[in-house]
Amino acid sequence: MALKMRKNKSPQPPAPCLLTECMQVIAGAWAPNIIWCLRAGPRRFSELRADIPPVSAKVLSARLKELEERDVIVRHVRPTSPPSVEYELTEIGQELIPALEGIVRVGHKLKIRSGYYPSEAEADANLAQALEPA
């Protein structure tokens, strides 16, 4: 016997779906990490590679281009010898920081629930450090 389909009681998102729109901006492997690393100010490519050790240069380069196309970051070519490039959050990129901080808080709660931290004090210290501007 098939189960009866229940009606969804959540209000429908406005069209076009604003949640989907925002999630598309930060979509892609490492995109939220890149935005997170840029929250304290401009960073060069090599600095971002050091900030996010697991990311490959190829993926980082692709993600930076995508975030630039989505107007989340801006790329500055500095007139040095040799030329250097810095990446910085745009106004829209800055507006994503509170959303990412919320995601970090939820991740923190999930880690506590899983028993990742040996003590509540260590868990709180870790969260405070994560949310502290670099």
For 22-42, how does the pLDDT look when each residue is reduced to its tens digit (9 = 90+)? 888 888 899 999 999 999 999
| Amino acid (one-letter) located at 25 | V
Together in a domain, 81 and 101:
no
- Which CATH number fits the domain that encloses residue 36? 1.10.10.10
Together in a domain, 82 and 40:
yes
The answer to whether residue 34 is domain-embedded is yes
Q: What residues make up the domain containing 31? A: 15-90
Q: How many domains does the chain have?
A: 2
Token pair listed for 124: 């709180």
Token pair listed for 34: 């890149």
The answer to whether residue 76 is domain-embedded is yes
Together in a domain, 20 and 85:
yes
Together in a domain, 114 and 61:
no
| Domain endpoint, select from 90, 106, 121 | 90
The answer to whether residue 19 is domain-embedded is yes
Q: Are 28 and 66 in contact (CB under 8 A)?
A: yes
Together in a domain, 70 and 131:
no
Is residue 134 over pLDDT 70?
no
Together in a domain, 28 and 83:
yes
How would DSSP label each residue in the chain?
Answer: -PPPPPPP-SPPPPSS-HHHHHHHHT-STTHHHHHHHHTTS-EEHHHHHHHSTTS-HHHHHHHHHHHHHTTSEEEEEE--SS-EEEEEE-HHHHHTHHHHHHHHHHHHHHHHHTT-SSSHHHHHHHHHHHHS--
Residue 12 main-chain phi, psi, to 5 deg: -70, 140
Together in a domain, 53 and 24:
yes
User: pLDDT of 69-99, one tens digit each?
Assistant: 999 999 999 998 888 999 999 999 999 999 9
